[in-house]
Amino acid sequence: RKAKISSLIERYKDKVSSLPMNVDHDLCKYMGFWHFHGFWYHSKADFSVEAIMALQDHFEPQPTDIFLASHPKSGTTWLKALAFAIMNRNKFKTRSGSRPTHPLLTISPHDCVPFMESESFLNNPSFANGLMHTHIPYTSLPKSITSSDCRIVYLCRNPKDVLTSYWHFLNKLKDDGSTPTRLDDAFELFSRGMSPYGSFWDHVKGYYKASLEQPRKVLFLKYEDLKKNPENEVTNLAKFLGNPFTEEEEFDGSAKKIIELCGFENLSKVNKDGKQTSKVLSDDIYFRKGIVGDCVNYLTNEMIQTLDKITKEKFEGLNISF
């Protein structure tokens, strides 16, 4: 862990250049999934396929490490905040019960829980403090993670809302003067599985199957369930993370306090000034509406029907519904 994996990244450049590419969309295919690759994305964010390869070959987790995983735009920011708040709830508690010094009141959840396939993480993996996040598909995770006792929490979201959220996000990134992406183009690529970390459906399936095979290792959560019944989901999450709420905490409404602290309203307020703590992306870019079903305001009926059909086919025989 102490070795700087980032110094190894150069070694993977040749391997990456031999991968199938989609140059028009800055994507390359690695182990069955599409990944960002190209100058434009690299000017926006500090993650890369090379970083995934370096992690696969060199990352050594501690048995107590916890990995949060998600497909982009599935509610990663929310999951990071919730897991961080659960794991650190005693550290930031004051006697009066208020949390004036809580990091989530001043900094982005992305600065509390590092993103693994980024150069900043590779340069300093120890800053993770046992809690980290990845978008890497389950089948591409470093074997050192899948074959260890580490726990993984996966957050999944309705693909129609994921696409809607992603399209808005992409065009916010393109505020730099780049040509905006049309919704029908984004839809076309997403439904063909050609989105970053896509196909979306294979991404979800990988973690879902792992959660069935190893329920003590992989917890599968849904954004929609978190919205509908946050107390139940947060209580389960705390249990899974090995940090269940005590009777006293239950009496005290600890779960409710965490839900409020990590709620869209609070986090979007804290991060609304758009300061850039983490590299290139500003903190407010991760907050838009935070609701379920916003896709109906953007996608056509035909797009909705197509995505529903793909979801039905891809998830056939699996108990995943939205």
Query: Does residue number 41 form part of the binding site for ligand A3P (CB under 6 A)?
Result: no
| Closest distance of CB 16 from ligand A3P, Å | 24
Per CB under 6 A, the segment of 72-80, 91-99, 111-119, 206-214 that binds ligand A3P is 72-80
Instruction: List 154's β-bridge partners, or say none.
Output: 69, 220
Query: Active-site residue 135, yes or no?
Result: yes
Per CB under 6 A, the segment of 13-21, 212-220, 273-281, 289-297 that binds ligand A3P is 289-297
Instruction: Identify residues 255-284 at the interface with ligand A3P (CB under 6 A).
Output: 262-264, 267
Q: Please pick, from the candidates 12, 61, 65, 70, the single residue that binds ligand A3P as defined by CB under 6 A.
A: 70
| Closest distance of CB 260 from ligand A3P, Å | 10
User: Site for ligand A3P (CB under 6 A): how many residues?
Assistant: 21
Per CB under 6 A, the segment of 43-51, 57-65, 68-76, 117-125 that binds ligand A3P is 68-76
List, in order, residues 6 or more apart from 216 with CB less than 8 Å away: 151
User: What is the residue-wise DSSP string for 97-115?
Assistant: S--TT-GGGTS-HHHHS-B
Query: Does residue number 294 form part of the binding site for ligand A3P (CB under 6 A)?
Result: yes
- The answer to whether 106 and 292 are in contact (CB under 8 A) is no
Beta strands across the sheet bearing 151-156: 131-134, 66-70, 151-156, 218-222
Which residue in 52, 86, 46, 49 sits closest to 66, CA to CA?
Answer: 86
Which residue in 15, 31, 81 sits closest to 267, CA to CA?
Answer: 81
Q: Could you give phi then psi for residue 303, rounded to 5 degrees?
A: -60, -40
Question: What residues act catalytically?
Answer: 135
| Residues near ligand A3P (CB under 6 A) | 70, 72-78, 161, 165, 168, 262-264, 267, 286-290, 294
